[in-house]
Chain A
Amino acid sequence: MDDLHELYQEVILEHHKRPRNFRALPQCSHRAAGHNPLCGDEVEVYLAVRDGRIAEVTFQGQGCAISRASASLMTEVLTGKRIEEAHKVFAQVKDALTGNAPEAGMDEIGELAALQGVRRFPARIKCATLPWHAFEAALDGTRRVSTEG
């Protein structure tokens, strides 16, 4: 049960129940859908980029507690970041979630560290990375991205 409680920390549950920036962004400059064909979950990420800076990030869609909390946390941490900083955050998050980084590696990204519990649940890592892949796809101009290549 300890692994389970580490996965479903208060922060995760709180963001799952009250996701931040959970809405469409009609005036967005970028958007993309992330799709996980294994479960059918889909998340749409919207960005408003102004002068190389992410002015606003929102998301919508169906998902489990892990993907929803990850998306919610993502919108908070990316708001106001410069594009190159945002890419760096994603790289750090990906490393931390897939177990390629020491656990302490996420301290600098604050609440996102709560997502680290997922590394002990290999079947759930894609739930956590789904919104991030959609975010990257939006910046790249890809309309739709899948967790299954």
Chain B
Amino acid sequence: MLVDNAQEIAPETLAEVRGAFPILGQKIGDHPLVYLDNAATTQKPLAVIDAVTRYYREDNANIHRGVHALSQRATSAYEDARAAVARFIGAPDTRQIVFTRGTTEAVNLVAWSFARPRLKKGDVILLTEMEHHANIVPWQLVAEATGARVVPAPVTDAGEVDMDAFRKLLEREPVALAAFVYISNSLGTVNPVETMLAAARAAGVPTLVDAAQAVSQRPVDVAALDCDFLAFSGHKLFGPTGIGVLYGKQAHLEAMPPYQGGGDMIANVSFAGTTFKGPPERFEAGTPHIAGVVGLGAAVEWFEAQPRERLWAHEDALVRRATEGLAGIDGVRIVGTAREKASVVSFLLADAHPHDIGTFLDAEGIAIRAGHHCCQPLMTRYGITGTARASFSIYNTMEEADRLVTAVRRVARFFS
């Protein structure tokens, strides 16, 4: 539930949230850092940094099968984090949470262990034009291996999925799986995933939701969404890099063959044949990123303790402020004007290339991203090679949004 007086979040609340992130207090040259690259990765609160440090200082050991105290503590920390993540996204059972290296590996896991065995020549894997390369390339690889086809649903000029086209593709094509992004990393579009998932369900098509941006921007409840799979990364949720999550429906996970083979995923190994553990261990071969999992668990717990609705409303106000400010500059074009957006303002400046904008802003301590944002097909759709992208998080301030606008106005003057 978003509240109306979002702009007026209590300054002390915002200061407290911001104060939890030690990295934000620094200067870049003479300028205070303005971190607006949150769609690429969010910063980490002290609670996460401390949890990872404490794990290495006090609990470090390999998990499972250890009879000693440290191993038992490490195992508990690892499995407690799994339970925290399950609760955070509303998964009915902790066994439905598979730890991966990130969203990318989670999508690959589904592509190879779930999709590949069931794909036939001519089957369609339905995506959208606004997917990140991580939700395109794994499907192209399994399509190549099976003779299936990858078909993207078109995106409108405003940056919304063309829902009529999406439904028609589901009706007319032999769609074997639909995979789509919840919130676009390059445009900020919040897709109507409930509607998309219902349409896929009605067509009997299993689904994967790329929730990499969404988990920090919206409440995500897998039981309510009723998706077959959902993937996200820890580092875009205030957690460490190198750790991510695949949620899957239990029946699917039970039926899927392993993705990688190795230690910790087996029931019994012999040269005559090997049997595997059930999920989630079946999909977690080798010593996992234990510290990453501990950090992710801490991130989830920290985030749940924040006044999230108010912070999201504040963030939406930041996006509106930046969008209005930038749109008021001569020569600025906002790319992505969907009715519902979160976090991201992608823009172009008539006389300055995104990389030039990025270099100028960096000289003022403002971190944005310039380029195709791993969405080349989407850029091609708009006839551009890239955009300048400012992406906000809960700890950014109105003053920072204004500094962005002022700096871009200076860049516009310089290049005009």
Contacts and interface: CB of A to CB of B under 8 A. Distances in A.
Given A7-B359, A127-B355, A39 B385 contact: yes
A13 B356 CA distance: 11
A4 B360 contact: yes
Given A13-B415, A65-B415, A40 B359 contact: no
A132 interface: no
Contact of B359 (A17, A42, A63, A121): A121
B151 interface: no
A1 B352 contact: no
Given A13-B415, A62-B385, A65-B415, A39 B354 contact: yes
B355 A3 contact: no
A38 B415 CA distance: 23
What is the interface residue range for chain B against chain A? 10 to 19
Contact of B376 (A3, A40, A64): A40
A126 to B, nearest CB: 10
Contacts of B279: none
A62 B376 CA distance: 14
B379 A40 contact: yes
A1 B365 CA distance: 11
Contact of A64 (B353, B363, B372, B414): B353
A73 interface: no
A76 interface: no
Interface residues of A, number: 22
A41 interface: yes
Nearest to B372: A40
Contacts of A65: 352-353, 356, 415
B414 A8 contact: yes
Given A13-B415, A64-B356, A65-B356, A39 B363 contact: no
Interface in A49-69: 62-66, 68
A40 B415 contact: no
Contacts of A1: 363
B331 interface: no
Contacts of B356: 8, 64-66
Contacts of B174: none
Contacts of A66: 355-356
Interface in B320-365: 351-356, 359-360, 363
B224 to A, nearest CB: 37
A4 B415 contact: no
A124 B353 CA distance: 12
B113 to A, nearest CB: 29
A41 B385 contact: yes
B386 interface: yes
B379 A64 contact: no
Interface string A4-21: 100110000100010000
B63 interface: no
B204 to A, nearest CB: 38
Given A39-B370, A40-B386, A4 B359 contact: yes
Nearest to A1: B363
B242 interface: no
B17 to A, nearest CB: 30
B355 A64 contact: yes
Given A1-B363, A64-B355, A65-B356, 8 more contacts: A17-B351, A39-B355, A40-B371, A63-B353, A65-B352, A66-B355, A121-B359, A123-B359
Interface of A: 1, 3-4, 7-8, 13, 17, 38-42, 62-66, 68, 121, 123-124, 127
13 contacts: A3-B363, A4-B359, A7-B359, A17-B351, A39-B355, A39-B372, A40-B379, A41-B385, A64-B353, A65-B352, A66-B355, A124-B355, A124-B359
6 closest residue pairs by CB, A with B: A64-B353, A40-B385, A64-B355, A40-B372, A39-B371, A4-B363
